[in-house]
Amino acid sequence: MQDTSLYRAWAEVDTAAMRHNLALVRRVLPSHKQMAIIKAEAYGHGITGVAKALDNEEIEFFGVATPSEAQKVSDAGCSTCPFILGPCFPAEREMIVQNGWRAALSSIEEAEHFNSLGRLYGKKVNLHISVDTGMGRAGLLPGNVPILADKLASYDHLNIEGVFSHLSAAADDISFTHRQIRSYEQSVAVLRERMDLPYRHLCSSSGVFNYNAPSTNMVRLGRILYGYSPMPSPHNRELQPTLTLYSRVTLLRTLPDNHGVSYNHTYVTTGPTKVATIGIGFGDGYLHYLSNTGARVYLNGSYCPVLGRVTMDQIMVDVSHMDKVQPGDIAEILGPNVPWEELTARAKTIPSNVITSITGRVPRVYKG
Ligand SMILES: *Cc1c(COP(=O)(O)O)cnc(C)c1O
């Protein structure tokens, strides 16, 4: 493993835990293939490192958001094909066709353009039809699926390899989710009358343990791969966290009574207070929204509350209750003792927002 002795903030990524989480999903859904979602720097874990770690795991596709993320997968030398999850604007399509990456198909206009690019480069373009069963973000409305299906026969450079949709409220609205599943199943039936569709996928992390879409044969794994399940399930306790964010104490001081701490003095000491300054801030992804929320770090075996506002590069924590603290000591900022869920609740955001906020300044260290 890398030497971390000069790092002031770093994320340790446990790739063995990632493989464990993948194996768990495979045990629960043995007849489904998997797409591993590694967009947004693999949810903060680092896209290149995660792509390399999972490339030999017999995963069907790496789900990415953009062609530039797909390029990172290629540049890492991975053989797992990138799948671009959302729509792409016209100028992005050429590199998709040239590289043989997979893309979503949301409209007849896209189909025509991809087909002409396929002709230009003498390649079959592999696409998955995206159906908007209720997300309102991309895809064909279900009523337009038969219209596209009829046209597809005339596009000789397209290979329609799959059909998918995305659930919009799987963790919160079960009856709407069942409507989306029914709508998806209807579109799949319409399409399968006309073509072979080797890849059929609907559920991502909030769906895999809780819903069954009978025609599907692949799941898209984002958060669950990284140890977080958005819905209650007996399988959740078997998931393992995959990322621990660390930082170091840079300075220790005792501030006198009635001394403001950090910008705007939203915290003022109520007595002599031993304060440790820690080398992480919102410039590293420790959200500013965590200011004055009771957020805490785990340092030398005990919890230390964050005092006042989070700044760009530093936070201050109360260590008055501790006698053994020194500059250089390691604080756990996010990890087994300070779970993802805890920071999510305090920052009043969603889990993916916490984890994707870890910035490029933070080195990723891979183990396992
Ligand atoms: C991001 C994304 C996912 C992954 O979602 P998780 O809930 O993190 O598993 C799956 N499918 C699509 C279309 C996405 O955009």
Residue 72 falls in the annotated catalytic set:
no
Mean pLDDT of 242-247: 98
- Is the beta carbon of 188 within 6 A of some atom in ligand 1? no
- Is the beta carbon of 205 within 6 A of some atom in ligand 1? yes
Residue 7 pLDDT: 98
Q: For 198-235, how does the pLDDT look when each residue is reduced to its tens digit (9 = 90+)?
A: 999 999 999 999 999 999 999 999 999 999 999 999 99
- Is the beta carbon of 207 within 6 A of some atom in ligand 1? no
Q: Quote the ligand 1 centre to 220 CA distance (angstroms).
A: 6
Return the ligand 1 atom nearest residue 65 CA: 15
Residue 94 pLDDT: 98
Return the ligand 1 atom nearest residue 85 CA: 13
- Is the beta carbon of 85 within 6 A of some atom in ligand 1? yes
- Is the beta carbon of 25 within 6 A of some atom in ligand 1? no
Q: For 20-67, how does the pLDDT look when each residue is reduced to its tens digit (9 = 90+)?
A: 999 999 999 999 999 999 999 999 999 999 999 999 999 999 999 999
Confidence class for position 1, pLDDT limits 50, 70, 90 = confident
Residue 21 pLDDT: 98
Q: Quote the ligand 1 centre to 239 CA distance (angstroms).
A: 18
Confidence class for position 128, pLDDT limits 50, 70, 90 = very high
Give the chain's mean pLDDT. 97
Q: Quote the ligand 1 centre to 163 CA distance (angstroms).
A: 15
Mean pLDDT of 244-267: 98
Confidence class for position 105, pLDDT limits 50, 70, 90 = very high
Q: Note the pTM of the prediction, 2 decimals.
A: 0.97
Return the ligand 1 atom nearest residue 230 CA: 7
Cα–Cα nearest to 203, from 106, 133, 254:
133
Residue 121 falls in the annotated catalytic set:
no
Q: Quote the ligand 1 centre to 86 CA distance (angstroms).
A: 10
Q: For 275-331, how does the pLDDT look when each residue is reduced to its tens digit (9 = 90+)?
A: 999 999 999 999 999 999 999 999 999 999 999 999 999 999 999 999 999 999 999
Q: For 63-97, how does the pLDDT look when each residue is reduced to its tens digit (9 = 90+)?
A: 999 999 999 999 999 999 999 999 999 999 999 99
